[in-house]
Amino acid sequence: VTPETSAVTPETSVATSEAFAATLPPRFELVYAPLFRALAPDVGPEVYPAALEFVYEGYLAHYRVSRLLGPDTSVATRLLAGDHFDASGLRLVARAGDLDAVRLLTRLMASCSWLRAEQQPFAYDDDLWALCVAGVASSASGGNAFAALRLFDDVGRLFERGRVERLPEVVRRGAATLW
């Protein structure tokens, strides 16, 4: 872990958690960092896995159950903490100079926000998360990040046309174009 990323490891996320008066769960489980590492095993440093986990924690704080914030955390604090986690993850990727990954993450955030506003199944969010992680891994590996960005364009068209139920099919079909 480099000095630039040492502040964003799960162990040092304690400081962020404490800043929002939370207690850490007994086990801090990484969700998308292992997928990224499986898709892009030769990519270093740990900027990308840390960034993905930070943005995911922001998503959890906003829409699901946070891994870092306690159950009694107020809604306002959850939103503020979620924004902080999102910004921290985006900052890491931006500092690494990967603007395609920043675009993918912001498209993911916007798409999940729309899905939550429309009260769609959380499984759709999970599909978009997997797509985004694959796209970020492809971008970090010098692959085809534009294919993933085009898939988010396709997802946006599904939203516009009221065809969101086709999202899993579009994501599965398009994921094959990333490698």
**pLDDT exceeding 70 applies to what percent of the chain?**
83
- 131 has a pLDDT exceeding 80: yes
What's the whole-model pTM score? Answer: 0.84
How many Å apart are CA 106 and CA 149, to the nearest integer? 10
Q: Which two tokens stand for residue 99?
A: 């603007």
Kindly indicate the confidence band of residue 52, based on its pLDDT and cuts at 50, 70 and 90.
very high
Categorise residue 83: left if φ over 0, alpha if ψ from -120 to 50, beta otherwise.
alpha
Categorise residue 64: left if φ over 0, alpha if ψ from -120 to 50, beta otherwise.
beta
Closest C-alpha to 60, from 1, 118, 125, 140: 125
For the chain, the 3-state helix, strand and coil shares in percent, each to the nearest 5, are 70, 0, 30
- 100 has a pLDDT exceeding 70: yes
CA distances from 25 to 77, 78, 84, 111 (A): 18, 16, 19, 28
Residues 165, 118, 71, 131, Cα dihedral to 10°: 40
